[in-house]
């Protein structure tokens, strides 16, 4: 019962299309601009950091809240199930026609709740790399891919395996969207809406 409830809560949280809402507030349709991905990264590409930061926070909060709900309902494994459901909800949102993003930020939020120490160190690495010439893109990759290695030093190995399973969901979502590799704006005949960036 705890697993079922946690998964329902997680999926509904994940289905909230935060990035779409943030972008539309500024007159941008993420489906028709940039790479067509309705997630935080495309929002940043189109809106700039000053307008897109709520998309990053919102997408991460979905995973964080799902994890906390799962932990409260039944412990760590229920927490992992809830985060998985939130990631599936983000990728196939009930509130946005099942057309969602890659679930990276939802994973990040969930990971912080499931393994706080490893998550905190990963965030420090993200900030450190982002402050260099390598920039946020490299920092984000270092933080995300470094997280399971950090977790290996701070959590039981079975938790790391579960984290790997969550990351496989991201990989599967990228694979499923592989057919849509062209720029969404080119496919629709529109120009990317990059003028909204500050």
Query: CA–CA separation, 100 vs 91, rounded Å?
Result: 4
pLDDT at position 35 is: 86
pLDDT of residue 194: 42
* pLDDT tens column, 27-54: 999 999 988 899 999 999 999 989 999 9
**Minimum mean pLDDT among 81-90, 111-120, 132-141, 160-169: which range?**
132-141
Per the prediction, the chain carries an average pLDDT of 89
Give whole-number Cα distances, 124 to 129, 130, 155, in Å.
9, 10, 18
Helix residue ranges, H only, the chain: 2-14, 18-25, 40-47, 49-74, 76-91, 104-114, 116-130, 135-154, 157-176, 184-188
Q: What's the burial of 182, exposed, middle or buried (CB within 10 Å: 0-12/13-18/19+)?
A: exposed
Q: How confident is the model at residue 137 (pLDDT cuts 50, 70, 90)?
A: confident
Torsion, CA 22, CA 25, CA 31, CA 37, rounded to 10: -20
**For 19-28, how does the pLDDT look when each residue is reduced to its tens digit (9 = 90+)?**
999 999 999 9
Of 46-50, 81-85, 129-133, 181-185, the poorest mean pLDDT is in 181-185
Q: Is the pLDDT of residue 185 over 90?
A: no
List Cα–Cα distances, 33 to 56, 65, 90, 174, 188, in angstroms. 18, 29, 19, 18, 9
Burial-class residue 21 by CB neighbours within 10 Å (0-12, 13-18, 19+): middle
Q: What is the pLDDT of residues 4-14, one digit of tens each?
A: 999 999 999 99
pLDDT value at residue 136: 87
């Amino acid at each position: 019962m705890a697993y079922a409830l946690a998964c329902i809560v997680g999926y509904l949280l994940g289905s909230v299309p935060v990035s779409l809402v943030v972008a539309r507030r500024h007159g941008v349709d993420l489906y028709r601009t940039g790479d067509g991905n309705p997630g935080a990264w495309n929002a940043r590409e189109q809106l700039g950091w000053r307008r897109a930061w709520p998309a990053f926070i919102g997408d991460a909060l979905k995973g964080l809240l799902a994890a906390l709900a799962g932990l409260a309902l039944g412990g760590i494994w229920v927490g992992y199930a809830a985060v998985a459901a939130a990631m599936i909800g983000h990728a196939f949102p009930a509130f946005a026609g099942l057309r969602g993003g890659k679930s990276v930020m939802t994973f990040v939020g969930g990971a912080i709740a499931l393994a706080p120490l490893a998550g905190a160190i990963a965030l420090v690495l993200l900030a450190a790399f982002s402050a260099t010439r390598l920039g946020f893109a490299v920092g984000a990759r270092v933080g995300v891919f470094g997280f399971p290695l950090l977790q290996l030093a701070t959590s039981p190995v079975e938790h790391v395996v579960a984290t790997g399973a969550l990351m496989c969901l991201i990989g599967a979502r990228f694979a499923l969207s592989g057919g849509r590799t062209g720029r969404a704006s080119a496919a629709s005949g529109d120009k990317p809406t990059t003028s909204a960036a500050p």
